[in-house]
Each structure stands twice: as structure tokens, then as C-alpha cells.
Structure 1
């Protein structure tokens, strides 16, 4: 064989290898998984150790039992109820927990960008959960060892692991969700209506939280003198600083409770109860942020808090708008269920018992029921208004094509993650890969394993279903993109108009 032929064969082999390496990168290395497992717990423990040390220095206390206190702080960040001096404290600050969840989400998201199969994403998620669980086991052992010289009691192991798994699971789900949701939806053919409804429900929950934060701010301003009196009970600069920082750490708890109150649920603080229409006085834990609670009923003025769920429900109805009435109703129903589930989870994490003072927080089941009712009812009213609107009726009657709910889930927001179950089949697919037996794949030259989620290619549709790629356009943009995908040998690809239309620009 001539040197020219050998050179050509070598270059073809190198191109084939580079193409496969680019399209299907190597599995995550063990060292990368170790970083995912230990980075967030290590940083969190270091920060907690510094905080505990500074606190002991300001208090002028000895450093005995420092390890047990750091271990207890790790359990607190994971929302594990603790017994201190014989009193069980279950209502714990959410701000450190949210920061740790954000850190877990960032670490897992960065790691998942470097892999290309669901099995590798699963390895990353497993490592991100295994590390904190191991840390919790070590913390339980350290706390148990130091309980003889400390007032901190030993926490039950099973609830400790359960809370750790719940908290860390939220961060992992957020981190790897964007990387693999779109291909999972495409593979298992989740209806676009349900996807839009789920996104609307998550946005509705965030809207309720924003409204709750506004209510807390208004309450603190209105009751500033009462809040100042509670801070003054610190009797020294260290006490003032400690109570102020503690109130800041509990701000997310207060916002969640206020969101539940705006939906109609009752907030309990010790023996006192508060709702939008009335107040039952009682003993309240001496935390400055709780000074924002009204001491007497607001009467008709309290009805204004219901503007928050009304506005959220109306926005959900608008967000899920569709020319198809049944799909519009279904999307709003899914949004109501999603928002209610998130409210129940948040209320569960934000509440708990404050020792002998009783429970603190909003009732989780009732808050979820009211949230579902507000979104469903107000969203239903928005559906009726949209169906009766002359502009929408004209568009629905005269339009012959358009875009559907899939446009709200533009594929450029997600990574082009392929579901690969048989790696040996990849070698065979390079040899024989007829168009009629495969799904359209992006050109390997366009793939970027380390690219950000917004820079990835669209996920193609299979020719076996007889469907062609549809253009995805963000709602209200008024633009459409040309369908993408590899040629399958047919003279032309025909874009089929969807059966229903999403009300876009102009309504």
C-alpha cells in the first residue's frame, strides 16, 4: 500500500476517533466524582468552624466541645432537629440551608456539563448525595462523643439521614435537572402542556414567596419599635449582633410563612396564631423578626394580602394560554398542583417546634390546599376571560398555523444530552446507521461538551414517528426559525402545523 493511501487511512482513523471522543466523552473520572462528593461539605464545614470559633471568642467561652458544636451546626444546616439542654428545637434557619443548596446545584451543574449520557449524570448525582450523607454520619458520631461535656444531645440517626437526603436532593435536582430534563422529556414523550404547567407552577411558587417577602418587609417597618425592643433584650453589643444575625438567618422562614398566610393559612408562633382576618394573642418566641407579627386583627385591611395569590393565579392563567381550551385548562391544573406541592415542601422545611413554646410556622397541608385553590380558581377565571376575548376568538377561528406550548421550552435552554443504554451499539452504529433506524443527531462538529446550557444544539425528533423538527421560538417574539436536522434522503421536509396554537404576540 502506498504512503499516500496509508496517510489517508491514518487521517480517517484519527478523524473517526476524534469524532467519537467529541460526541461521546469519557466517563467522569474518579477524582471528579470525589470533588463533587466532598467540595460542598468541606467548604460548609470550614465556614461553620470559623463561625463557631468567632462566636465562642465573642462570648468569652472555652473551646471545649468545639468539634461537637461544629458537627451540630452541620446538622442544623441540613434541617435536622436537635436537642439542646433537654429542649428539642425543630424550627431552624433556612438561609444557610438555601446557600448550601445553591452550592450543591452549582457544583453538580458544572460537573454534568462535562458528561454526555444519563448514566454519567446519575453517577454525579449519586456522588453529590453520598458525600453529605457520609458527613452527616461523621457529625452524628462527633456529637455523640461530645454530648458528655456539651448540652447538645444526640440526634436520632434515621431522621438525620432523611433530612440530609432531602436537602441535598433538592440541590442535586436543581443542578442536573437542566442538563437532562429536555432529552428525558423527548425520550418519554412528556406532553408539552404538562411541561408548561409545571414551569408555571414553579414560577407561581416563586411569586408567592416574593409576595411573602414584601409582607414581611411591610410588617417590620410597621412594627419597627417592637422589633427594636426585642433586639434590646440582648443587653450588650454581642447580644444585639447575635439577635440581629439570627433574625436575618430566619428571613426565608418568615417569607414562606407570610406566603402561606397570604394564601389563607394560619401562622402559629408559640401559643399565638395569626391569619389574614384575625389574631389570637399568646406567648411568642423572643426573636426580633417575630416582632413583625400584628398584635391585633387588621380587619378589612387584612383582605389586601389576598392580592398576592390573585395576581399569581392571573399570571399563571396568562402564562399557560393556548388556543386549545382543554390544553389551557390542563396546563393551569398542572401549575396549581406543582405550586401547591412546592408550598407544602417549603412550609415543612420552614416550620417546626421551638421547645416548650410550641410550634412555629404555617400549617403545610392547609397552605398547599389554599395555594392549589387560588391558582386553579383564578387561573380558571383567566381561562374564561381569554376564551371570551374577541382578539383570541378571532385568532383561533382564522389562524391556520402557529406555534404551540413547546415554544415555552425552547431547546436551546437545555443541553443536547443523549440517552445511551448500550455503549457497544455505538460502535455498530458507526458502521451501519441507516436513516430509517435512527434519530437525527447534531453534527459532531457542532457539539461542545463543556459548553454552557444555552449554547447547545436542539434535540432532534425521530423519523420513525413521522414527525419533523419544529421551530422553537420564545413566546411573544414574533419570529420563527427554520427546522433543523440531518437530511434523510427525502426531497423536502414539510413542517406540519401543530394541532393547537399558543397565543403569542398581541394578546
Structure 2
């Protein structure tokens, strides 16, 4: 055989012939993945540190503070942005704003999600999670060392290192898990050795909607309460000395706005909010000294009004809505109760975690936040009972609207159903209430006859193209002649 006619072998890269899992099963990642892991570990940490330095320097320069305290203040602020308690002298600040934490974790999760490969292997996902944790872990150690060196200049106390490291690992592992599941959820589910029931996915989606609805209703309640107590604004800002204090109090209140919304959500569920020795609930209000902060203007001063317990219907109504959606959107009647229970349970867990993050020690005031022992039981009760009530309501009185359930039609499904007849219109839809013998003006009837022999076919007269006259009765014989092509010659579409 000549070299001209020899088959051409396509050169395939060696890595493409090896299965993905076998190619990744080594201790060091590939160079392209190593660069992505470096960015995941370094970029979010450097960005959050740069933002912290800028904010601390602006605050110190505008307030006239000596810049010799800047290193310790920067280190303490970076830890505070990750919900690590900071102690200055005898004052412990554990109630920290959620806005910086949300921004830092959002950027870290975004960077992790962008680095997820198209078909990730388990070892790649482990490397991504480790890279997401590595940067903040190292920076925590650096900040702790800086605070230790600054202890002689400022009254900063170094936090407990085991607790700070454990919290940082937990926080960023959860961020990496959410980012990976959002980007490669199918791959992650395939790694689970046990097959998840079908009702887990709709229950999780309903839980996400439930949490957003609870927080939305809490935001509306906080805004309404703020509008009802506008007379306190002048008294709060009277403690400010100059425009810098006014701006500082306003910005600090905006940073604490998510904390206020989470506390309001807990209050709507029936859990009282503790303010040191005092508390605010739907049934009782015990007065306590509150800091002069605009974010605390919506806090009612008491006494408790008789109509306040009506607000308990808010979480119940949200649970009913979730149950109605699950009852109308699932075909699995046996799994719908489990999906409702899953939705209530996951919603309770997420709202409780937010309540833990939004609570803490506030200096001389004491503990500020909801009752973390009563809150989960109340949330599970209202969302669970409301969900089951909504599911029963949807099954008995509402029609099912499953997305995609009637996107296509099977002739065998409607074979014995006289209430549906096919109408061959332009839209090709089934017309309810019509029988197979009825037709409207837009439909066209077609008569067909099965012919066993082609010679028995009826003769058809065809009019000439472009002719306006009807076809003649004469039969026109048409013969198709194929052009003779060169033997073995190429046939092109030109």
C-alpha cells in the first residue's frame, strides 16, 4: 500500500485518552488548575484586606485618631468583618454588622464558583474548598499576631485562636459548598452514595423561597415601625457632634440593617428579642437602655398592644403558601408531605443560623438577639403546620399546575377520553370539550385511503407552474431523468 493511500491517524492528546478520575488522582493539581486555585485563595482575601485598610484609615483620619493604632485597628476590623468577637479593654463587641460579612463571603463564593471546572472530579472540588479556606486561614493568623504586637499600644485583646480558626474554616467551607453546589450541583449529587428521594429537591427550593418571604415581610415590618417612630430621630441624632458623627451613625445603622431585619423576623415568629436585662416581644415589653443608634429606632418602647399577636399569622401564611405550591406542583402524592416537612425544616435551620449570626454581646448593654432555644421550635411549628394546611388545601380545592405536565401529548393517553379531541390547527393543540366528529372553521378535514398497490393510486392532475387556469382533465405523464454523472466523480452542492 502506498503512503498516499495509507490511512491518516488522528493525533489525540494523551490526556484525552485517560479517564478524568485517573488523570486527577495525583497529589499536585495541573498547572491551569493551580493558577485558578491561587486566585481563589489570594484574591478575595487581598480585596477584603484592602477594603478594611481603606475604611479604617478614613475613619481614623476623620476622627483625628493617632495613626499609631492603625495596625491593631485594621487587624481587629478584619476579624470583626468575619464575625469574630473583638474585645477592647473590658468591652466585648460580639454583635457585629452582617453587611461586611455578606460582601466578603459573596466575593469568595463568586471566585470559587468561577474556578469550578466543567466536569469536576472529587479531588478538584476538594482542592477548591481548601483554596477557599487557605487564604482567610493564613490572614487570621497574621491578624492575631498583629493584635498581639499592638497590645502594648492599644487595649486590644487577642481572641481565642482555636475558636477563631475553627470559625473561619467553618464559615468558608460553607461558602465553598454553596458555590460548588450552585455551579456543579449535578456532579455533587452524583458523588452522594445514597440516592436522594425525589421530594428533597422541591422541598429545598420551597425552603429558599420561604426564607426570602420571611425576610421580606420582616423588612416591611421594620420599615413600618420606623415610620411610626419618626419622632425619635431628632433625639437620636442629638447625641452627634458635627457632620462626621451624623454620617458615622447613619453608615453604622445601614451596616446593621440586616441584623434588624433578622431580629424582626424572629419577633414575627413569636420569639422575644433580648436587650440585656430587657426584652421586646409580641406579648410583653420590658424596658432597657438602648444605644443611641438610628438602626434601633423601630424597637417599640411598650407596653405591648393587644393586636400584636396577630402578627403570628405572617409565618403561618408563608407556610401555607409554601404548602400550596408544593401541593400543586408535585405528582408524588406520597412524597408531598415529606417535601413540605423538608421545606419547613430547612427554612428553620437557615433562619436560625441567620439569628445566631445577627446576635451577640453588645458592650455594657449585654446580650442582644432572639431567644435561640425558643426560636427553632416556633419556626418549625408555624411553617410546618401552615405548610401541611396549605398542602391539604391545594389537594382538595385547587387544581394542579405542574410545569411541563402538558407540554406534549400522547395519543395513547387520550385514546379513551372523549373530552379531548385533536384539532389540526396551526397551533396543534387539543381542544377541551370537543369530540372527534366536531370541527371548527379553522380546522381542515383530511380524508385518507390506504392503497395496497401503487398502480391502484388515483390519477392526479397537476397545473403548470404560474398558470391561473385550473388543471386539465388530461393526465400528464411525467418522467424523471437522472443526468449521467462521471463514474466515481464527486458530487457537490454548488
Q: TM-score when scaled to structure 1? A: 0.73
Q: Tell me what 2:302 maps to.
A: 296
> CA 1:258/1:480 → structure 2, altered by over 3 Å: closer, same or farther?
farther
- Between the aligned partners of 2:300 and 2:7, the Cα distance in structure 1 is 83
- Return 5+ residue gaps in structure 1 as ranges: 396-402, 404-474, 483-507
Q: Tell me what 2:450 maps to.
A: none
The answer as to 2:487 corresponding to 1:479 is no
> CA 1:234/1:368 → structure 2, altered by over 3 Å: closer, same or farther?
same
- Between the aligned partners of 1:175 and 1:282, the Cα distance in structure 2 is 41
Work out which structure has the larger RCO, using CA pairs closer than 8 Å and 6 or more positions apart in sequence.
1
> CA 1:30/1:259 → structure 2, altered by over 3 Å: closer, same or farther?
same
8 Å Cα contact 1:228/1:288 also seen in 2: no
> CA 1:30/1:390 → structure 2, altered by over 3 Å: closer, same or farther?
closer
Which of 47, 52, 55 is the matching residue for 2:51? 47
- Between the aligned partners of 2:346 and 2:8, the Cα distance in structure 1 is 57
Match of 1:294, SS state, is coil
- Between the aligned partners of 1:17 and 1:175, the Cα distance in structure 2 is 28
> CA 1:326/1:150 → structure 2, altered by over 3 Å: closer, same or farther?
same
Match of 1:276, SS state, is coil
- Between the aligned partners of 1:87 and 1:341, the Cα distance in structure 2 is 31
Matches within 5 A, 1:194-233: 194-233=200-239
Q: Tell me what 2:75 maps to.
A: 71
Give the greater-gyration-radius structure (CA): 2
Q: Tell me what 2:380 maps to.
A: 372
1:83 deviation in Å? 0.5
The answer as to 2:152 corresponding to 1:148 is yes
The answer as to 2:66 corresponding to 1:62 is yes
> CA 1:301/1:172 → structure 2, altered by over 3 Å: closer, same or farther?
same
Q: Tell me what 2:127 maps to.
A: 123
The answer as to 2:12 corresponding to 1:14 is yes
Q: What is the alpha-carbon root mean square deviation over aligned residues?
A: 2.6
- Between the aligned partners of 1:480 and 1:93, the Cα distance in structure 2 is 51
- Between the aligned partners of 1:291 and 1:144, the Cα distance in structure 2 is 37
Q: TM-score when scaled to structure 2? A: 0.75
Moved >6 Å (runs of 4+)? 15-26
Which of 22, 31, 40 is the matching residue for 1:36? 40
1:317 deviation in Å? 0.3
1:227 deviation in Å? 3.4
Match of 1:235, SS state, is coil
Match of 1:213, SS state, is helix
Q: Which moved more, 1:238-247 or 1:108-117?
A: 108-117
Q: Which moved more, 1:196-205 or 1:81-90?
A: 196-205
1:2 deviation in Å? 4.3
Q: Tell me what 2:251 maps to.
A: 245
Q: Tell me what 2:323 maps to.
A: 317
Which of 130, 135, 138 is the matching residue for 2:139? 135
The answer as to 2:10 corresponding to 1:3 is no
1:21 deviation in Å? 9.9
Match of 1:361, SS state, is strand
> CA 1:17/1:127 → structure 2, altered by over 3 Å: closer, same or farther?
closer
- Between the aligned partners of 2:222 and 2:398, the Cα distance in structure 1 is 40
- Between the aligned partners of 2:256 and 2:132, the Cα distance in structure 1 is 26
- Return 5+ residue gaps in structure 2 as ranges: 411-494
> CA 1:172/1:480 → structure 2, altered by over 3 Å: closer, same or farther?
farther
Q: Which moved more, 1:160-169 or 1:96-105?
A: 160-169
8 Å Cα contact 1:113/1:179 also seen in 2: no
Larger helix proportion, structure 1 or 2?
A: 1
Q: Which moved more, 1:289-298 or 1:134-143?
A: 289-298
Q: Which moved more, 1:307-316 or 1:127-136?
A: 307-316
